[in-house]
Structure 1
Amino acid sequence: MQVNQAIAAALIGGGVDTMFGLIGDSNLFMVNEFVETHGGRYVSAVHEASSVMMAHGYASRSGRVGVATVTQGPGLTNTATALVETVRASTPLVMLIGDTAPSNLRNLQSLAQEPFVRATGAEYLLVESPETAAETVCRALRIAAGQSRPVVVNCPTEYMWVEVAEPALDPSEEFIEAASAVQHELDEAELDTAVGLIASATRPLVVVGRGVVDSNAGKTIKDFSERLGAPLLTTLRARNLYGAGDGSLGVFGTLSSEKGAQAIVESDCVVVFGASLNTWTTAHNTLLTGKPVVHVDVQRATLGRFTAVTAPVCGDAATVAEAITTWLDEGEIEPATFRARVASDLVAHDLEAAPVSRDRLSFAGVLTDLMAAVDEQRTVVFDGGRFLGEAFAHVHAPGVARQVLSTSFGAIGMGMGAAIGAAVAASGEPTVLVTGDGGFMMNGLAELQSAVRQQIPLTVLVCNDGSYGAEYDQYVAKGVRPDLSLFEWPSFADVATALGAAGVTVGRLEDVSAAVEAIRTHDKCLVIDIQVGPDQVVEVPH
């Protein structure tokens, strides 16, 4: 068996049946082996960054490890932004790359790949010998699953044709299942401080982040919030984990509903599980000013990383919640009445949408009408851009697993790759991408062709204001002519049609009905170009 065959076998043995990528010198025969010998599915990208985002979308939607592969040198450097995105999103992902031979110093694609990878924050594993190739791939899958992070595996290209013994792979459930997160012995002093703050609070809030979703602790934390008598809020990444019936007031942060914001202001203690408390969640720390904060996370490095917290507690969310509950019960501490007081004001969605104007064309109005035409069992993917303020308010997925974000690095243009990966994971269900015109031009058009080519149906809603919106706002705010931020794009509907998709332009109110009909009847990729002036867009809060 050759190394390229051993790597393909290791992937299959590790439960991988889908891989995304762009082939080159280092990986083309491994990918062929994965497909032709083992029957794996390979989804090809036009750009290497998109292959990583495809794996991200797949992992986010499926809950499994996403796998991508690119070639060495420029193939790797093209993934930089996407790798950082997946690191910050804590995506369980393995990326397989090659490397030029150390003796081939004149190779144009030579690069010091380890420091490049580590600069993104991803884990780096080197295949140190042909005999260890399969073992290294298996280790990468376990790290990615167990630590919920990207791992880059570098297998020198010259190894690919070396003969090795067939790897002894263990196909048991123990190997295939994701490894559990590292368990920490709880610090009683940390618990004591946290319980003291919670017991003395009369208006506690519980905030839930993506870490709770990933550890399947949602029900435990919901029960905990009921025990405290505390309303629930989530970060954006955990949006739709709970509904109004669970005591949820929606999103905690810059996208809070009016009633959620009121509860945040009134609260006298905030208990946070599995959230980083970044500047968007805390509105530059203003939402936590003067409040005791209990911050629980399984990773100690996360505690207080972005904002000062009163009581950091390192441990698994469910374990900590159960321990605090036990201490409260032993101390006969009664639940607060705060949850009951705000119960009548709970909203049905995470974001309370403002009334939509129907006397002019707006992203809010069009998005509302179009989403009403999409099947409720849908996956929704969000690209980055100024349009997000309205998109988050008017576009919803039916559950947290069906919402995929590509915004952890603040980049634009990452969404189309993520949408393709999510659509592959959500086979048979509609997948909707909401993107901006700048992001769509950056990577969306190229990868739209990837979706068409591989018959992956997507509905793409382009919020087209003919500008780079955030830059437009800054120019206008400073009294500077915004011309440099304005663009005259081609007709996205026409270009989509040329690429083999369907295209509809919404430039007037009377165009909306045709777009709605297209959503209801299309059987292939559909691009809807929603054209609104740059001065008519509601800016996303910062």
Structure 2
Amino acid sequence: MFVHEVMAQEVAATGVDTMFGLIGDANMFMVNSFVERQHGTYVSAVHEASAVMMAHGYALRGARLGVATVTQGPGLTNTATALTDCVRSSSPVLLITGDTAPNNRLNRQTFDQEPLVRATGAGYVLVTGPDEVRSAVRLAARRAIAESRPFVLNCPTEYQWQEVGAADDDEDPWSGSEKHPEISEDVLDEALSVIASARRPLVLAGHGVIGKEQRQAVLAFAERIGAPIATTLRARNLYSAAEGCVGVCGTVSTEPGVRAIGESDCIIAFGASLNTWTTVRNSLIAGKRVVHIDTNEAGFRREVPVTATVPGDAAVVAPQFIEALDAAGVPPTGFRDRVTAGVEQTDLVWDTALGQRVTLAGVLSAMNRALPRYRTVVYDGGRFEGEAYKYIWATDYRSQVLTTDFGVVGLGMGAAIGAASAARDEPTVLVTGDGGFMMNGMAELHSAIRAGLPLIVVICNDSSYGAEYDQFVNRGLDPSLSLFDWPDFAEVARALGADGLTVDTVADVPGAIAAFQSPIRPVVIDLRIGVADIPEVPH
């Protein structure tokens, strides 16, 4: 087999059925082999960053490895922002690229690629020779999955048409599971002393708990110590009110969450990054003792005031906590029963009436109520996102995708295409801003059209870069530099081959909702609001 055939075969062996990317010298034959010989699906992007975000959306929504491919040099450099976001999002993505020949210094695309990749926080695997390609693909894919972060596989372009031998039939490349390291007794004892002395403990569950074993282990632990459960935004709806959940912890907390978080004296966080949104700049954890459990030790950051850290998997650590508390005879607290009494499932989400004028809260709530129960929701970045997080959401924790871990605007459309590719039997909604749509969304809308994905795209259009508008106004300056006269997005959408509608008034909302009930192509809804009508989002 040729090297490009082996690479395609090994990607398919991971169970991946869809690859995203842009073809060039370094990857075109591999992509062709994946489609023709492995019967995979290839979704082409307009920009390389979008290809990576497609793999990100596919990975998060499909709970599996996401695979993207770009060509050498500028093809790879264009992915840097998206790679960084995926690293911070703990997204298992394999990015396959190539490289120019070492002795070809005249090639304009020659570039030292490894330092760039390392700077983003992604892993890097170099194919050192044609005979190493099979093991290199397996290594990069394994590590991307095990470490929940992107890995870049660099296969030099000149190897593509070199022949390699067949695989060893005795080798099972995907057998076995990752073993978690032993946790020292000192580390456990420090954490347990904090937990045992708490009188009003709260368990915080993050995206690292969404696995079945992790979810059940954390639930059992919360019940054992008598603690309510709050979740991060990324793990929203992981638990129900009946299971003692008080909703999201952070800037979109509802009343039950605010009450429970405020009264707690100790927070035990499993698989949560404790970022600025979850902790509201550490204000929600100030004065409390905090135990932080995570498999990713990079998540233990100095700027977050934590009492004890435990590097480990929730499915392993939580049962150890329970066993030790049982052995010591530590009784459960009554805090859980007190703060969850009378809390219903509807208390855990935001909702508001449409009202007499167009507002993000009213229109997004109306759309949220009209969507079927099972839907995927993807969020782009921008000033609108605070309202979007509150008022339009997925009912299943596995069905929402965020693209803002690097504070980026414009990556949402790529992630939406990837998520829709992983969940074709349910509608996928992208909530984006006008700036983000102009930056990348408009180009990738055509990628969604080519791929036959009936996305629902809601553009929260205030004709501005809203965060910059707020800063100009707050300092008494002229905000005109942040204001834009964009084209008519509905007309642009129709010109590209999508359906396009404009919502200027409340009377336009029923028509917009009707348009996405049974879409056969992407539907773009230009939701126009005043530049001063969106609540300011804290940085």
TM superposition score normalised by structure 1: 0.96
> Residues 413-492 of structure 1: matches in 2 within 5 Å?
413-492=410-489
Q: 1:91 to 1:215 in 2, by over 3 A?
A: farther
What letter corresponds to residue 477 of structure 1 in structure 2? Answer: N
1:40 aligned partner? 40
More deviation in 346-355 or 12-21? 346-355
User: Is this contact kept in 1: 2:272–2:294, CA < 8 A?
Assistant: yes
Deviation sequence 1:107-148 (CA, Å, 0-9, x none): 111111010111111000100001111210111111111111
Q: 1:15 to 1:60 in 2, by over 3 A?
A: same
> Residues 1-400 of structure 1: matches in 2 within 5 Å?
1-168=1-168, 175-176=173-174, 180-214=177-211, 216-348=213-345, 352-353=349-350, 355-356=352-353, 358-400=355-397
What letter corresponds to residue 221 of structure 1 in structure 2? Answer: V
What letter corresponds to residue 67 of structure 1 in structure 2? Answer: V
Counterpart Cα distance in 1 of 2:360 and 2:50: 26
User: Is this contact kept in 2: 1:85–1:406, CA < 8 A?
Assistant: yes
Deviation at 1:540, TM superposition (A): 2.8
Counterpart Cα distance in 2 of 1:350 and 1:501: 37
Deviation at 1:260, TM superposition (A): 1.1
Unmatched tracts of structure 2, length 5 or more: none
Counterpart Cα distance in 1 of 2:354 and 2:12: 52
What letter corresponds to residue 32 of structure 2 in structure 1? Answer: N
What letter corresponds to residue 502 of structure 1 in structure 2? Answer: D
Query: RMSD value over aligned CA atoms?
Result: 1.6
Counterpart Cα distance in 2 of 1:242 and 1:107: 54
Q: 1:70 to 1:170 in 2, by over 3 A?
A: farther
Q: Of residues 486, 491, 504 in structure 2, which corresponds to 1:494? A: 491
Deviation at 1:345, TM superposition (A): 4.8
What number of residue pairs does the alignment pair up?
539
Counterpart Cα distance in 2 of 1:512 and 1:280: 31
SS for the counterpart of 1:520 is: coil
Deviation at 1:171, TM superposition (A): 8.2
User: Is this contact kept in 2: 1:259–1:345, CA < 8 A?
Assistant: no
User: Is this contact kept in 1: 2:352–2:361, CA < 8 A?
Assistant: no
Deviation at 1:57, TM superposition (A): 0.3
Q: Of residues 507, 511, 521 in structure 1, which corresponds to 2:508? A: 511
Counterpart Cα distance in 1 of 2:364 and 2:258: 24
Q: 1:462 to 1:50 in 2, by over 3 A?
A: same
User: Is this contact kept in 1: 2:233–2:248, CA < 8 A?
Assistant: yes
Counterpart Cα distance in 2 of 1:357 and 1:539: 20
Deviation at 1:50, TM superposition (A): 0.6
Deviation at 1:347, TM superposition (A): 4.7
Counterpart Cα distance in 1 of 2:212 and 2:109: 40
Q: 1:450 to 1:23 in 2, by over 3 A?
A: same
Deviation sequence 1:497-535 (CA, Å, 0-9, x none): 011000110011111111111122432110000000110
Deviation at 1:214, TM superposition (A): 4.5
Deviation sequence 1:471-507 (CA, Å, 0-9, x none): 1111111111111111111111110001100011001
Counterpart Cα distance in 1 of 2:496 and 2:174: 39
Counterpart Cα distance in 1 of 2:517 and 2:292: 45
Q: 1:382 to 1:502 in 2, by over 3 A?
A: same
User: Is this contact kept in 2: 1:455–1:524, CA < 8 A?
Assistant: yes
Deviation at 1:354, TM superposition (A): 6.0
What letter corresponds to residue 410 of structure 1 in structure 2? Answer: G
What letter corresponds to residue 219 of structure 1 in structure 2? Answer: Q
Counterpart Cα distance in 2 of 1:136 and 1:350: 49
SS for the counterpart of 2:50 is: helix
Percent identity over the alignment is 55
SS for the counterpart of 1:272 is: strand
TM superposition score normalised by structure 2: 0.97
Q: 1:524 to 1:72 in 2, by over 3 A?
A: same
